[in-house]
Amino acid sequence: MFLEIKDLSVKIENKNILKSLNLNINKGEVHAIMGPNGSGKSTLANVLAGKEDYEILNGKIIFKDNDLFDLNIEERAQEGMFLAFQYPVEIPGVNITPFLHSAINSKRKRMNQDEIDNLSFAKLLKSKASDLGINIDMLKRSVNTGFSGGEKKRYEILQMSILNPDLAILDETDSGLDIDALKIVTDGVNKLKTKDNSFLIITHYQKLLDYIKPDYVHVMVNGSIVKSGGSEIAAEIEKDGFQKFQ
Amino acid sequence: MIIVNSETLNTLDSYSKNKYKYGFVTDIDSEKPRKGLNEKIIKYISSKKNEPSWLLEWRLSSFRKWKKMKEPDWANLNFPKIDYQDIYYYSAPKGFKDKPKDLSEVDPKLIETYNKLGIPLEEQKVLAGVAVDVVFDSVSVATTYKGELEKLGIIFCSIGEAIQKHPNLIKKYLGSVIPPGDHSFSALNSAVFTDGSFVYIPKNVKCPMELSTYFRINSENTGQFERTLIIADKGSYVSYLEGCTAPKRDDNQLHAANVELIALEDAEIKYSTVQNWYPGDEEGKGGIYNFVTKRGLCAGKNSKISWTQVETGSAITWKYPSCILKGDNSIGEFYSVAITNNYQQADTGTKMTHIGKNTKSKIISKGISLGKSQNTYRGEVTFLRKSDKARNYTQCDSLLVGNQCGAHTVPYIDSKNNTAVIEHEASTSKINEDQLYYCRQRGLSHEEAVSLIVNGFCKQVLQELPMEFAVEAQKLVSISLEGSVG
Amino acid sequence: MNILDNYQKNKKNIFFTENKDVQNYREKLLTIFENDRFDRKNNESLKNINLKNFFDFKYKYLVPEEISVINNYQDDNYSIVSINGQCSNFKDDKIEITKILDEDYNDFSKNNIIEKNDHFVNLNSLFLNSGFKIVIKKNNNIKIKISNIVTDDALTIFQKNNYFCEEGSSVSLIEEYENKNNSTSNILNVIKLEKNSKFNHFLIQDNSPNHNLIITSHSSCKKASTYNQKVYNFSEGYVRNFHYSKLLETNSEADLQGIFFLKDNNTSNNKTFVKHLAGECKSNQVYKGILNDRAKATYFSNTHVDQVAQKTEGYQLSKGILLSDNASYFSKPELKIYADDVKCSHGSTIGPIDENAIFYLRSRGMSKIAATKMLISSFINEELSSIDDEQMFQTIQKKLVRYLSKVK
């Protein structure tokens, strides 16, 4: 199994957010999780990434034969887990290029690969950026600083394409995007898609799934997955909302 | 034109793997008179340097002033009383009766020392476009690129040499910005200064390369009291860099330098410091006491003086590079990064005194406290009566890493002019958890993430440094954070 | 006459002289006065003031006994006229007022004072000749108005008041200082807030040029209590406002705000100091001043965050407008922080009225003087609009209009 979430219960500040959640993802699959606000979708993304604010009450997560809870945030990232944040944080003064360069090299180091040198990295970055329609000038700026909502999301996808993760989690990547930006972002995701990597797409609306076709759709309500199936579920939600699942 | 060569980068790389790589001692014979401060030693220094009698008189009168003065006590610093009689006031590598004429005459051990420090002295190996004056203990040992500078009429030499060769400039400007009686450390320096650098840039000359002085304290129990004087004549420009290191020793060593800058009409001086004196060990033992007075006078109209400092070393830092904005439309700037770790204490900042009309000043200060250290920004902005339309902008931010340290901000703002505008902002916070999470999610280790974020926090200041210094400074910032994160 | 002579001469008339501890303490203070060099440059409490006025004064001790009036109307509203720092005893189920002389001094003297090196507080302790204690009883919500009146010329009032807010109580206190006599009031307020209590303190100062007012307060807050202070200084005489707050327990708050309007040769010294001694507390220190003619002002603010005071939020703002060539303003906003998980900041601006704004208003047809006045009003608009007591709002509005009428 590539990713296996078993009976996961999580709380934060005395509030139970995830309740006995189960989810399996195989290599090459695209899964979508849909759910109303406050259902625990973002919590799931952050627990997978290893954010330290949560208390794990019960359950197990296996990722690429590792017990995920044995790995800290950066080790998970180096193992190939990538979280595209819903609200990417601004880091003033930290330039994009060296930031990403350090990130890719720390991953390569863990994989026992040679570090990528300055010049090759700059080339790689430039070509990936132009694929995503990102202006080269933007690469001279500080991480997320002063970016518009759309720019931040596009920059998340750029990082994803550079780091080439095995499992990419997209947390509400569609929120705050207009239709043109959404197209660019989803195109970028589709280009990355191979038979060896998997995607977990978290979204509130069905619109995103018109552009990225999921193999499975799960409905999450109140901290558990209440229904799973194919993309027909998304259409169902689009029509009737989450009401009938609650 | 500045090119960072790969040798330097490699050297810098190797620094980052070691906490205080500069802590070695060079085994070199030195010539020292007895410890202690008295008129005799002052006369000894003066005669060693073959000084004119007016200068000896100046030194002695400074000494008499010093005897009557108390150390300034308003800083947020705690340290045992300095025993001025337990210090050597003069130390010279043996055989330095006359300064070597060229590098072939310099003791190979010295050259090796500087190579170890990443400051190769052979001109062909020196960073392209940087002329270096090297001060070892009390004596200037080498000045590179002298010939090239001379063609432009630029004087760049040790102050000892300038006293011999350019007595009129020395007589006119020495002590004109920092009077010996200003406070006890300026009086002390005026009495016993041994060497330092002298720069004169003639009218309308833009100095084509960075001028740099590298200070090294080697001998034990030796105080370093260098004196630097930079004069930028009308319409000229110079960028000057200063670096400092010292060996690891269990005793505290005193460093009390005076730096005077004078910018005449339309002239600009940019002065950058990367201060990395030995900070003491993790228990707070040893380290340099750094009591430095730096002051610039914007004497002429449209002149500009800009101070940039990266302060990571010293057990105690007491330092306020200041600008007196006398000429109309003159500009003063102060950019500072101060990092304190373990038991270090820093009380640093600036003084901007607006005298002329339309004068402008800008202060950007970034303080980072770690370990059990105390880090204080102290700054004074004064608008005098006649400083019509003067402006100041001050921003001082502090970052705390760990809850055993302290970060303090003490600005003094005094306005006596109703057309002048001052704006001041300050903030103190801990390192942002969301930023750390974000960086680590991209695969950076906790330590790397902290270093990256802190470097980002300092960027506004670091980008003011000349390029090769900026690289060194960034590494230094990272090294200074080591061991305190986790 | 100097301090020592004054003290010797009036010793028997000063309060609590018979108490041995008090006497010993006063002897100690006297030696401090004798040995101090009165270094005005480095002692914040002395900056910009004429020492002669305060340390070499003509001392008229005998405070005439007048009966103060305490009215209780509409149930929760109390109105007090305090004459020469005195107040009669009063008691009901919500409030208890006691003359200082009827109190146990040992209990009364527990000051909790932060700053030791303050000569004016020392003078107050030395010459104490008036004051009272007010207790607001548990879970009551009341409003008090105190008018402070000094009856005679050359009278010097050394007054100490203790306020004690019992658990869950809430009080809104409006104090007015409007004195026309050639006299000095040196007042020390010690305010203690128990758990969940709240104190809204308004000080309206409007003395004539020959009256000096020195007012110092020390408030301390226990768990989840709040001390809010607003100072409105329209005085034409010297005023010193030094206010200290200690946040002793979690979730407590202190908000120290002031505005001052100075003209002619007047001087005002201001200081606020908040000491965070527990986590999750908030503080605000905001002073704004308008200075005209040859007026001088200082404002010192300080946020001190103790090592245990995690999750502190501290904010400081100091703003000054200089209307004249000869006015001067000194500000020192300090942060002293020993805890790492904090959000503290300060801002400070000093300058003339924004010329672009003046230009804008004039281009809309307003005269320069009207534009200036409008911008001054807007500068302190926030402070004025937050007043919810209609009568007080009117009072302050009137004083503002009076000040603006002198602006040219």
Instruction: Give the rounded distance of the alpha carbon of C30 from its chain centre.
Output: 25
Question: At A31, is the secondary structure helix, strand, or coil?
Answer: strand
User: Does pLDDT of A62 surpass 60?
Assistant: yes
Main-chain phi, psi angles of A55, to 5 degrees: -110, 120
Q: What is the pLDDT of residue B167?
A: 93
What sign does the dihedral C400-C403-C406-C408 (CA atoms) show? negative
Q: Which residue in this structure is represented by tokens 């601004």?
A: A90
Q: Is the pLDDT of residue B230 over 90?
A: yes
The answer to whether B90 and B204 have CB atoms below 8 angstroms apart is no
Residues of chain B in contact with residue A92, where contact means CB-CB under 8 angstroms, are: 456-457, 459
Chains in contact with A via at least 3 Cβ–Cβ pairs below 8 Å: B
Q: What is the mean pLDDT of residues A40-53?
A: 91
User: Which whole number is the average pLDDT over B52-72?
Assistant: 92
- In the predicted structure, residue C341 carries a pLDDT above the cut 70: yes
CB-based contact B442 A159, cutoff 8 Å: yes
Partners of A221 in the beta sheet?
A224
For chain C, the domains span 3-359, 360-408
Is residue B6 very low, low, confident or very high in pLDDT (cuts 50, 70, 90)?
very low
Are A103 and B442 a contacting pair at CB < 8 A? yes
In this predicted model, which residue has the larger pLDDT, C72 or B226?
B226
Position with higher pLDDT, B126 vs A55: A55
Residues C295-319: tens digit of each pLDDT: 999 999 999 999 999 999 999 999 9
Choice among B121-130, B368-377, C6-15 with the minimum mean pLDDT? B121-130
- In this predicted structure, what is the pLDDT of residue B105? 58
- Structure confidence at residue B245 as a pLDDT band (50, 70, 90): low
Examine the pLDDT at B278 and tell me if it is beyond 90.
Answer: no
pLDDT band, very low/low/confident/very high, at B392 (cuts 50, 70, 90): very high
Task: In whole angstroms, give the CA distance from residue C400 to residue C256.
Answer: 21
B484/chain A closest Cα distance in angstroms: 19
What is the per-residue pLDDT for B272?
A: 92
Q: What is the pLDDT of residues C2-54, one digit of tens each?
A: 788 888 887 777 888 888 888 888 888 888 888 777 777 667 777 777 777 76
Contact call for residues B397 and C346 (beta carbons, < 8 A):
no
Residue C177: the pLDDT is: 95
The distance from CA B428 to its chain's CA centroid, rounded to whole angstroms, is 25
**CA pair distance B293, B258, nearest whole angstrom:** 5
Three-class SS of residue B345?
Answer: strand
**pTM listed for this prediction:** 0.84
How far apart are alpha carbons B36 and B241 in whole angstroms? 31
Q: What is the pLDDT of residues C345-402, one digit of tens each?
A: 998 999 998 888 888 888 787 788 888 988 898 888 888 888 888 899 999 999 999 9
Q: Read off the tokens for B296.
A: 């610039």
Percent of chain A, pLDDT > 70? 100
Chain B neighbors (3+ CB pairs < 8 Å): A, C
A–C contact: 3+ Cβ pairs < 8 A: no
DSSP designation for B204: T
Q: Please list every residue in chain A whose beta carbon sits closer than 8 Å to the beta carbon of residue B440.
A: 50, 72-74, 77
Contact A106 B458 (CB under 8 A): no
Instruction: Give the phi and the psi of residue B196 in degrees, each rounded to 5.
Output: 150, -170
DSSP state of A114: P
Counting as contact any 3 or more CB pairs under 8 A, the partners of C are B
pLDDT band at B111 (very low <50, low <70, confident <90, very high): low
Q: How is chain B split into domains, by residue range?
A: 25-431
Buried b (16+ CB within 10 A) or exposed e, B363-380: bbbbbbbbbbbbbbbbbb
Position C197 scores a pLDDT of 97
Architecture of the domain defined by A30-49+72-245: 3-Layer(aba) Sandwich (3.40)
For residue C357, the surrounding DSSP H or E stretch is helix C355-363
Would you give the DSSP letter of residue B79?
A: -
pLDDT reported for residue B189: 93
Higher pLDDT, B366 or C44: B366
Mark out chain B residues that contact chain C at CB-CB < 8 A.
74, 385, 398, 400-430
Percent of chain C scoring above 90 in pLDDT: 52
pLDDT score, position C377: 87
d(CA B350, CA B424) in angstroms, rounded, equals: 14
Longest CA span, chain B: 68
Q: How would residue B125 be classed by pLDDT, with cut points 50, 70 and 90?
A: very low
Kindly indicate the confidence band of residue C152, based on its pLDDT and cuts at 50, 70 and 90. confident
Cβ atoms B332, B339 nearer than 8 A: no
Q: B interface mutation test: which of C348, C407, C408 has the most B CBs within 10 A?
A: C348
pLDDT of residue B17: 39
- Chain-wide mean pLDDT for chain A? 89
- pLDDT band at residue B85 under the 50/70/90 scheme: confident
Q: Give the model's pLDDT for residue B129.
A: 47
Task: Give the pLDDT mean for B31-59.
Answer: 88
Please report the pLDDT score of residue A149 as a whole number: 84
Show residues of chain A in contact with B441, CB under 8 Å.
Answer: 49-50, 73-74, 77, 82-83, 85
User: pLDDT confidence of B14, banded at 50, 70, 90?
Assistant: very low
Query: What pLDDT is attached to residue B137?
Result: 56
pLDDT of A134 > 90? The answer is no
Share above pLDDT 70 across residues of chain C, in percent, rounded to a whole number: 92
Encoded tokens for C100 = 């200082």
User: What's residue B16's pLDDT?
Assistant: 34
Angle between helices B446-462 and A96-110 (to 10 degrees): 160
Distance in angstroms (rounded) separating the CA atoms of residues B144 and B128:
11
What's the pLDDT score for residue B104? 58
- Give the distance from residue B416's alpha carbon to the nearest chain C alpha carbon, in angstroms: 4
pLDDT at A206: 81
* B312: nearest Cα among B228, B369, B385, B252: B369
Q: What would the pLDDT profile of B143-200 be if each residue is shown by its tens digit? A: 666 777 888 999 988 888 899 999 999 999 999 999 999 999 999 999 999 878 899 9
Quick: pLDDT tens for C81-105. Answer: 888 888 888 888 899 998 888 777 7
pLDDT at B75: 84
Residue C28 three-state SS: helix
pLDDT at residue B15, as a whole number? 36
Pick C12 or C280 by higher pLDDT. Answer: C280
Partners of A40 in the beta sheet? none
Q: Read off the tokens for B92.
A: 């010279």
**Is A93 in Cβ contact with B459 (below 8 Å)?**
yes
Could you tell me which of C217, C189, C186, C176 has the C-alpha nearest to residue C119? C186
pLDDT of residue B35: 81
Between C69 and B255, residue with greater pLDDT: B255
Give the H or E element holding residue B459: helix B446-462
Whether residue B29 has pLDDT greater than 80: no
Question: What is the average pLDDT value for chain C, to the nearest integer?
Answer: 87
- The fraction of chain A above a pLDDT of 90, given in percent, is 41
The confidence score (pLDDT) of residue B136 equals 61
Res. A235 pLDDT band, cuts 50 70 90? confident
Residues in chain A: 246
Asked if B441 lies within 8 A of A73 by C-beta distance, the reply is yes
Tell me what ipTM this predicted complex has: 0.86
Restricting to B residues 424-463, those with a Cβ less than 8 Å away from any Cβ of A are: 432, 434-435, 437-446, 448-449, 452-453, 455-460
Write the residue in A83, A94, A104 that is nearest to B441 by C-beta: A83
Q: In this structure, how many other beta carbons lie within 10 angstroms of the beta carbon of residue C104?
A: 8
**pLDDT for A67 beyond 90:** yes
